[in-house]
């Protein structure tokens, strides 16, 4: 007799915790970050010694704003997924684990929103 529910079997979701989508998302965000971080490194290299106006001017260009937004969102996403695996492996106590995982998610969502707002503010020219 299987303990899996008929719905779970039909959807092929295994333990119903979405393990494969976690694994897959981790890889997709990894590939995206290879490209996004290379863009960041090349951009920062071109901005060496740049003035404040040059930095905001660079970030205001639509393609740069878009890639910066994606870097912030995808970076936070990848970090949360990765830290989750580390915490799940090394924090044995289930209560502590839930608290730590929730704190990590809150921290990264706040940081990501701050990052997105900062980029938008520059992109729409609110900042000088």
Partner 1 sequence: MAQRERPLSPFLHYRWQYTNTLSILHRITGVLLSLGFFVLVYWLAAAAGGPQRYADAVALLGSLPLQLVLFGVVFAFCYHLLNGVRHLFFDMGRGFELATARKSARFTSIGAVVLALVVWFVLRGSLGGIA
Which residues make up the interface to partner 1 (CB under 8 A)? 27, 30-31, 34, 37, 41, 44-45, 47-50, 52, 55-56, 59, 68, 71-72, 75-76, 79, 82-83, 86, 108, 111-112, 114-115, 117-119, 121-122, 126-128
Indicate the residue among 13 and 116 with the shorter CB distance to partner 1: 116
**Tokens linked to 73:** 């969102």
Beta-carbon neighbour count of residue 37 at 10 Å?
Answer: 13
Q: Are 73 and 80 in contact (CB under 8 A)?
A: no
Question: Where in 4-105 does DSSP place strands (E)?
Answer: none
State the minimum distance, in angstroms, from the CB of residue 61 to partner 1.
14
State the minimum distance, in angstroms, from the CB of residue 94 to partner 1.
14
Beta-carbon neighbour count of residue 123 at 10 Å?
Answer: 19
Indicate the residue among 8 and 65 with the shorter CB distance to partner 1: 65
């Amino acid at each position: 007799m299987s303990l899996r529910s008929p719905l779970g079997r039909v959807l092929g979701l295994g333990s119903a915790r979405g393990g494969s989508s976690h694994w897959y998302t981790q890889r997709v965000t990894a590939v995206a970050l290879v490209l996004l971080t290379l863009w960041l490194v090349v951009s920062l290299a071109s901005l060496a010694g740049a003035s404040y106006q040059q930095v905001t001017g660079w970030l205001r260009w639509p393609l740069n704003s878009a890639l910066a937004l994606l870097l912030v969102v995808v970076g936070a996403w990848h970090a949360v997924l990765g830290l989750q695996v580390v915490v799940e492996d090394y924090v044995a106590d289930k209560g502590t684990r839930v608290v730590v995982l929730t704190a990590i998610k809150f921290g990264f969502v706040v940081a990501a929103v701050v990052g997105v707002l900062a980029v938008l503010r520059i992109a729409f020219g609110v900042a000088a």
